[in-house]
Structure 1
Amino acid sequence: MSSGIEFTKDGHVARVVLDRPKALNAITSRMDDALFDAWTEINDNPDIWVAILSAGGEKAFCAGGDISGEDEGASRRMALGGGLTGVGGPLLTLRKPLIAAVQGYAIGGGFELAMCADIIVAADTAQFGMPETKVGIIGEAGIMHRAIRQLPHHIALAMILTGSRIPAADAERYGLVNEVVGYPDLAAAADRWAERVTAASPLAVQAAKDAVLSRAGWPLDVALATRYEPIEAYAATKDRLEGRAAFAERRAPRWQGR
């Protein structure tokens, strides 16, 4: 039986695809398990430098958790998104950069899954929303905590209190997404962002992500006074030496991720 998730590796890029388009890519427990396995592989495989999360079909990126009654059951409950969101279960921290390519409906847990990405590319068909209060279903509030941090205060609260959605153009205007393109160009746009990320030192990128996100909610003086182990460890890597050599020789660096 299909897990509803496609996971492939293309060079240094991991591709994770939600593949249940007829069900608006709603996440079942089996998909949740498969996502956990995908995130774990991405974290553990040094040859993976960036991941792209996308979804099959044109109508929806993800409609959240499956509530159709067709869920097959889970061997473990990692929480929606394989633990990446931390909704109702453990929070899995993805150390590699994650790009989300979003089209159509990204609502409920699907919206939260998109907000877990470091870079969001949206098709002009995308709509982001939190329908929980509108339909009278309120449980774990992870999506709300993320929205109030990633959107302007009153925009996020209006969405939370009314269940209204915002289109891709507004999401870009509010700084939620990095780029809006036509749906036919969505995959290519995500690939371009992946190329930009992999052009940088993968270990430096991972160290920078760790430093920024691990102290994002702390006062500036605390963030500045913190010692960051991944940054310190980077000083002894081959990539650091390669970066210096490439600069001195005026050529493009050849990163190894080592």
Structure 2
Amino acid sequence: MADVEFTREAHVAHVRLNRPKSLNAITQEMDEALFGAWTEINADPDIWVVILSAEGERAFCVGADVSGGAERPSRMALGGGLTGIGGPLVTLRKPMVAAVQGYTLGGGFELALCADVIVAANTTQFGLPETKVGIIGECGVVHRAIRQLPYRIGLTLLMTGERMPAEDAYRYGLINEVVDFAGLDDAARRWAAKITAASPLAVQAAKDAALSRLGAPLEVALATRFEAIENYASSADKLEGRLAFAEKRAPIWTGR
């Protein structure tokens, strides 16, 4: 079995960390495999959504494997560049659902924060332990946590190294749903099905527009012309949406 499994099921890509005995810590080889997965997902028009998950009940991911003395994978940054830690940032154009459980720490927490939807088992513990053990690096989770959590919650999480249970993460709006571990896979698939029921090109255009101007003032975002949205206007799926509405039937999307 590969340490990173990449499979497809209809229009859903499944990326699964598979190193449970090491709490799914990411090695250099896993980092490169993840980069390959994100690259293929971005390039394939028949992939509409991604589910990122991990094997084993104890942990989703505890970050980079430092057992060999390296601080983190170095070629494409932790998570194949998805997090941008220590290397170039890879922007995933397709929506991603992260299914997390157990220890979701450090770079593993960061990897989860890169998702658009997060479902968590009630066993999940989110945390940034770096300061508690006397280290801190150029970690993007510092910046993502303070943006995705209320200011004082995010900052105290960074400063204390304490862990946040799934129920608190849900209360603060960090995650979308908390389920029993046994129902985690079904919950992720349910969210993926909700996304694939919508026009894939419209979803991708909406994600691109929302995230590309996230840090801009509202008036700048409103005045921006978005290429993905303009391209969608002449797509087959745009026409299909109109026809399906007029004919009172469910649309049949092609992603074209």
- Where on the TM-score scale, by shorter chain, does this alignment land: which range? over 0.9
Distance in 1 between residues matched to 2:67 and 2:118, nearest whole Å: 28
What is the CA RMSD across the aligned residues, in angstroms? 1.3
Of 177, 180, 186, the residue aligned with 1:179 is 177
Task: State how far apart, in whole Å, the 1-side matches of 2:148 and 2:88 are.
Answer: 21
Q: How does 1:161-240 map to 2 (within 5 A)?
A: 161-240=159-238
Equivalence map 1:4-43=2 (5 Å): 4-43=3-42
Matches within 5 A, 1:136-147: 136-147=134-145
Paired position in structure 2 for 1:48: 47
Cα separation, 2, equivalents of 1:198 and 1:12: 8
Q: Helix, strand or coil for the counterpart of 1:216?
A: coil
Structure 1 residue ranges without an equivalent (≥5): none
Q: Show the counterpart of 2:99.
A: 101
- Report the equivalent of 1:159: 157
Q: 1:3 and 1:150, CA in 2 relative to 1: closer, same or farther beyond 3 A?
A: same
Which residue identity lines up with residue 155 of structure 1 in the other structure? I
Question: Which residue pairs with 1:255 in the alignment?
Answer: 253
Helix, strand or coil: the match of 1:208? helix
Q: In 1, distance between residues paired with 2:176 and 2:125?
A: 15
Conserved 8 A contact 1:3-1:30? no
Q: Which amino acid aligns with 2:144?
A: R
Q: 1:7 to 1:70 in 2, by over 3 A?
A: farther
* Distance of 2:163 and 2:149 partners within structure 1: 13
CA separation of 1:34/1:70 partners in 2, compared to 1, >3 Å: closer, same or farther? Answer: farther
Q: Distance in 2 between matches of 1:253 and 1:175?
A: 32
> Structure 1 length normalisation: TM-score?
0.97
Q: Shift of the alpha carbon at 1:141?
A: 2.5
- 1:62 corresponds to: 61
1:96-148 Cα distance to aligned partner (Å, 9 max, x none): 00000000010000000000000000000001000010011211131110000
Deviation string for 1:197-229 (max 9, x for gaps)?
000000000000000000001000000000000
Amino acid at match of 1:235: A
Give the letter for the 1:141 counterpart: C
Query: Aligned partners of 1:4, 1:135: CA distance in 2, in Å?
Result: 28
Aligned residues: 255
The alignment-based identity, stated in percent, is 69
Structure 2: how far apart are the matches of 1:237 and 1:209?
Answer: 17
Contact 1:8 1:15 in 2 (8 A): yes
- Contact in 2 for aligned 1:168/1:180 (Cα 8 Å): yes
Q: Secondary structure at the match of 1:89?
A: coil
Cα distance per residue 1:51-103 (max 9 Å; x no partner): 000000000000000011188x97x7000000000000000000000000000
Distance 2:139 2:34 in 1: 21
Q: Distance in 2 between matches of 1:103 and 1:251?
A: 38
2:126 aligned counterpart, secondary structure: strand
> Does 2:66 correspond to 1:83?
no
